[in-house]
Amino acid sequence: MKIAVLKELADGETRVSATPETVKKFAKLGASISVEKGAGESASISDAEFEEAGAALETRAAAIKDADILLGIQGPDPKSLKGIKKGAWIAASLNPFGERDRIDAYAKLGVEALAMEFMPRITRAQSMDILSSQSNLSGYKAVVLAGAEYGRAFPMMMTAAGTVNAAKCFVMGVGVAGLQAIATARRLGAQVSATDVRPETAEQIESLGAKPIFDDDLASDGEGGYAAELTDEQKAKQAELVSSHISKQDIVITTALIPGRPAPRLVSDAQIATMKAGSVIVDLAAEQGGNVEGAISGETVVKHGVKIIGAKNMPATMAADSSALFARNHYNFLSAFWDEENGKPVLDEEIGDAIRLTKDGAVVNERLLAN
C-alpha cells in the first residue's frame, strides 16, 4: 500500500496534507509513504524532516506512479496526474459543486475521488472532519485579522488619561468558525454578541460569555449540522433584526454557509452605511459569494468608512497548524478503516457513500448528481 503526498499547486495554498507525525503513524500501519519534494516547505516542514520520519522523497511523477492513495489539501489538477493508476484514491478537499469539471475529469481517469468536506457530521467521523478543524482556525484568525485592521483596542482599558471602551463584536453564524470567533473576541476583551438561525445555539453563545441575538421566528433546521436556507419572510425578519443591532457594532464576523449553494446574504450595503466609520467586517464566506454585500474574495474594500475584508483560504494563512490538523483528519479517516489482513483501508457504506464522488469511470455521488 503506497500513499503519496503531493505538493499543492493552487495559488496561495501553503498547506500540506501530511506531516512527519502522520507519516510515522501510516508507516506503523504498514504503508509506504512517498512525499513530493518540497511539499512541506510553505508549512515550515523540510524534506529532511519527512525523510527522517520514514518517507521517500520523490518527484511528482514518481510519487504518483503505483500510488494507491493520493493525499491532498485541494484537489490536484487532473492534468498533473499523468501515470496515476486506475482505482487509486484521491482524498482531499475537492469542492465538488464548484469544480464539477474537475470531478468529471477524475472519473475519466478511473480514480476514486473522495471529498473530505463531504464527511458526514456524525459522532464517529468528528476526528475526520476537515471542515471543523479548518473552520476552527478560520474563526480565530478572523478576529485576529479584524483586530489588526481595527484602529482601536479590543478590551476596556482604564488609564490615568481616561478610559478606553471595549470594542463591540457581533458574530453572525454560530457554527465551528463562529464559536471560535466568539471565544477569541472574548479572550481579547471585546463585548461579544452573536446570532444564528438555529435557536439551539443560544445556549452555546451564552456558555462563551456572549449575548445571543435571536428572533424565535427565524428557526431553520437543516441537515448535517448546517442551517437550511431561510424563506423570503424569514429573510426580511433577519434583516430587521440585524439592522437594529449592527449599527452599534465595531467588529462584525460573518460565517454563514449552505453546502452546494451561494452563501446567504446577511449584511446589506444599507446596513453597512449605519455602522461607525472605522468599523471592520470580516466575511468568512466571501469565496462562496459572500454574506456581506460588496465583499470581494481576497480583497479589503472600504464602504461608508467601514473596512470589509473578503477572506480567502484563511487556514492557509496559518499553514503549520492547519496542516497538522488536516493531516490528522486524513490519518484518522484512513486508520479507522484500515484492514490489517488486506493491508489497506476498506470503507463502509455510511461514510464511503457520503464522500465518494467517482468510481469505475463514473460520477456516483447522489448529492453531486442531484445538484
Task: Quote the CA–CA distance of 196 and 191 in Å, as a whole number.
Answer: 18
Q: State pLDDT tens for residues 309-337.
A: 999 999 999 999 999 999 999 999 999 99
DSSP characters over 55-114: PEEE-HHHHHTT-SEEEEEEPPPGGG-TTPPTT-EEEEE--TTT-HHHHHHHHHHT-EEE
Query: What 3-state DSSP class applies to 241?
Result: helix
For the chain, residues classed under CATH 3.40.50.720 are: 2-118+319-361, 135-312
The C-alpha cell 468568512 sits at 284
Is 295's pLDDT higher than 70? yes
Mean pLDDT, residues 155-168 taken together: 94
pLDDT of residue 226: 52
Task: Quote the CA–CA distance of 24 and 51 in Å, as a whole number.
Answer: 10
Residues in the chain: 371
Write down the pTM of the prediction. 0.92
Fold of 135-312: Rossmann fold (3.40.50)
Are 254 and 172 contacting, i.e. CB atoms less than 8 angstroms apart? Answer: yes
Q: State pLDDT tens for residues 72-97.
A: 999 999 999 999 999 999 999 999 99
Task: Quote the CA–CA distance of 211 and 91 in Å, as a whole number.
Answer: 39
User: Which residues touch 200 (CB under 8 Å, ≥6 apart)?
Assistant: none
Mean pLDDT, residues 360-367 taken together: 96
What number of other Cβ atoms are within 10 A of residue 63's Cβ? 26
pLDDT of residue 366: 94
pLDDT grade for 345, boundaries at 50, 70 and 90? very high
Domain 2-118+319-361 of CATH type 3.30.70.580: no
Q: State pLDDT tens for residues 190-224.
A: 999 999 988 889 999 999 999 999 876 655 555 55
Percent of the chain clearing pLDDT 70 (strictly above): 96
Are 149 and 300 contacting, i.e. CB atoms less than 8 angstroms apart? Answer: yes
Q: State pLDDT tens for residues 14-53.
A: 999 999 999 999 999 999 999 999 999 999 999 999 999 9
Q: Known catalytic residues?
A: 121, 126, 129, 132, 226
Average pLDDT, the chain: 94
Are 167 and 279 contacting, i.e. CB atoms less than 8 angstroms apart? Answer: no
Task: Quote the CA–CA distance of 218 and 198 in Å, as a whole number.
Answer: 8
Distances in Å between the Cα of 2 and the Cα atoms of 27, 66, 200, 344 are 10, 7, 44, 9
pLDDT of residue 214: 85
